[in-house]
Amino acid sequence: MEKQTILQGFEWYLPADGTHWKILAEKAEELRHFGINAIWMPPAYKGSEGANDVGYGTYDLYDLGEFDQKGSVKTKYGTKDEYLSSIAALKKAGLKIYADIVFDHFMGADETEIVSAVSYHFDDRTKPTSGEEEIEAWTKFTFPGRQGKYNEYQWTWKNFSGVDYDAREKDHAIFNFADKGWEPKVDDENGNFDYLMGCNLDMENPETVEQLDKWGKWYQELTGVDGYRLDAVKHIRFDLFVDWILHRREEKDSDLFVVGEYWSDELEKLQEYLDSSGNLISLFDVPLHFNLFQAASTMGNFDMRQIFAGTLIETRPDWAVTFVDNHDTQQGQSLESWVEGWFKLQAYSLILLRNEGTPVIFWGDLYGTENAEAVGEGLNALIKLREELIFGSQADYFDDPDVIGWTCTGDFDQKDSGMAVIMTNAGGGEKEMTVSAIHEGETFVDLLGNNEAKITLDENGQGTFPVNDGQVSVYVNEKMAQKIRG
């Protein structure tokens, strides 16, 4: 079975020049050559900031860069036709397409409405700060540029449960409409984290759920995507997506890969969500990201034996989608927790070269950003090795606070297989590890070129593998290393 390797196909600071869909199409063959076989594309519909919107300020789900709305026809990434052409090119190259879905909120309403509301504390949404009073809220979405094409429904305050601004009094607060209350089955941060931003969708309103389902049917039929990345699921009723996903599966007549973004390092909360969503949705392994961040930023004081402690990889590996960084953890973003460059290859080895989890590579790490350089050829080598090598059984040597390692036996039928990985977040060292007796007498070298040692395995497939200070070495058969390096 082919191992999945996903690319997050964007970063926050891409130029707002409407060329990204074309760039992805042009890179389709290159990405597949690298060893990437799936891509998570950014939100494709018009946001409230028009051509400058990264895609998370949802305005019109049906405008994929087709209508003159919010100051532009194009989205940040291009036009609808360019989007569909990009999908076609990526699919032709052999990549699966995962779409980014933002169902938590709408932004950039076209008109205001007078609504009865109660305000709440920003840091405790269980405590009201006012009685019921009338406010003027930007909550009516008429989509004048689209004029009813594809769908004539107009959204009003009845589709939402709250906003954070009263236009009449120019007052910023967390306002809950009428007697709706907040959805109880959400994350309990700030008392209740139903409300995040903009016009918060009311998932108890049958029309809201119906319209999201209608859009999903339209969108999947139009694009033919193979799965979804769900934004901000901790703020949305935990079981909301169950029917939505089942309907998309029925329409496509196949399984869909679905991953949710639940931004929390509390493992129990992630496990609760997996259970509540019927095990239909995988989750990003946020606790693992923070372990990687800590290992990279604590001057060698992180105990590497605990790198997988308290993570989804440790407890629910089949539902763990692993990553090193993403658009939210970039420098300058609200969730900034950037894994420092010196530790990137260690981090990517931990997610790409193991049997557990589904790894995601960040666009900025592959191609660089305005604030950070690309990881370089080492990352490309890890991606290609993941594609080429049958890992086989896996043995961990997590027996030192600084230097850890693991081996994969490879496969008897795959010539030149087998692997030994050793890394440190502090001083270097060496570790005696067994790959497999099927590799007796073979010579293993460091694919990354960080160490020049040549290790000849004994009759048990065992060798002593060294690693230099603050580095990772990935030892493979000499012929496999030559194949990967080209």
Active site residues: 231, 261
SS3 state of residue 190: coil
Contacts of 415 (CB under 8 A, 6+ apart): 479
d(CA 125, CA 110): 27
Q: Which two tokens stand for residue 213?
A: 């389902």
Phi, then psi, of 482 in degrees rounded to 5: -65, -40
**DSSP E strands, 121-190:** 133-140, 160-166, 171-177
The string of DSSP codes covering 202-247 is: -TTSHHHHHHHHHHHHHHHHHH--SEEEE--GGGS-TTHHHHHHHH
d(CA 59, CA 2): 37
**DSSP E strands, 35-156:** 38-41, 46-47, 58-60, 96-101, 105-106, 111-120, 133-140
Contacts of 336 (CB under 8 A, 6+ apart): 329, 330
Asked if 484 and 460 touch (Cβ cutoff 8 Å), the reply is no
Report the DSSP beta bridge partners of residue 98: 40, 227
Pairing state between β 6-8 and 38-41: parallel
Burial class (CB in 10 A: 0-12, 13-18, 19+), 71: exposed
Local structure of residue 318 (DSSP, 8 states): G
Q: How far is CA 316 from CA 239, 272, 293, 321, in A?
A: 19, 12, 21, 10
